[in-house]
Amino acid sequence: MFHKEGFTIILISFFLVAIIALLAHFFVKIPGLRMGIQIAALIGLVLILQFFRNPKRIADQNPDHILAPADGKVVIIDEVHEPEYFKDNRQQVSIFMSPINVHVTRYPASGVIAFSKYHAGKYLVAWHPKSSTKNERTTVVVKTSEFGDILYRQIAGAVARRIVNYAQEGDTIVQGSDAGFIKFGSRVDLFLPLDAKIKVSKDQHVVGAKTIIATTNNE
C-alpha cells in the first residue's frame, strides 16, 4: 500500500523506468552496459516505492499515552526551551527518519488542533542542532485531555523538499491516524510537558502509531 502523496511521483517514475529500459534494449549494444542501465533504473523505481509505502496501522488508542508520530530512531531526549508556541521549557523527543523508514506522520494523541503553522526555511541535515528552527518545517499543537497541549514539528532535511501537513486548526483528530507526510524523510520533534514520563531511550528505533513515547503520571 502506498501513500496518496506519492501516486504522481510513482506513476512518473514507472514510465521513466520503462522508457529507460526500452531505450537501453534497442540502442545500447554492449550487453553488460545495457543490463547495468536497466538494473539501475529498476533499483531507482524500487527506492521510490520504498519511500512512499504506507503500511496500515491501527493504534491502541489511550489518552494516557503519547505514541510515536513517525518511524525512525530517537536522536534527542532533552529538556529544552520551546520558543515558538509554549515559550517555556518542555521535554523534547526527536525522531530521525532515514531513507529506508516509512515517511508518514501520524497524530501522537487524540484531541483538537489548537495551532498549525508552516515555516519556509533551509535544508540542513536533519541531525543538525539548528534544523529544528532553521529548516523548512511545520508546527502543530494538539490540545489533549490528559497532557494538555503537546506540540509536534515536521522538519525537512537535506533530501526532503516538501512537507505535507493535514492538521487544520479546530480539527478533532484521532491518535495514530494520518497527519501528513515528509517526502523522502527527515525528522519529527515532539515537545511534551515536563511531568510526562518518557518511555523511550536515545538511539531506540520506534514505530509510528505503535511505540509509546510517553505516559502520564496515571500510568
Return the percent helix, strand and coil in the chain, to nearest 5: 20, 35, 40
d(CA 214, CA 219): 10
Neighbour-count burial for 87-122, b at 16+ CB within 10 Å, e otherwise? eeebbbbbbbbeeebbbbbbbbbbbebbebeebeee
Q: Is 131 exposed, middle or buried (0-12, 13-18, 19+ CB in 10 A)?
A: buried
> Does the annotation mark 116 as catalytic?
no
**Residues near 184 by Cβ (< 8 Å), separated by ≥ 6?**
51, 99, 103, 159, 160, 161
Q: Which of 94, 110, 131, 186 is catalytic?
A: 186
Catalytic residues, which ones? 186
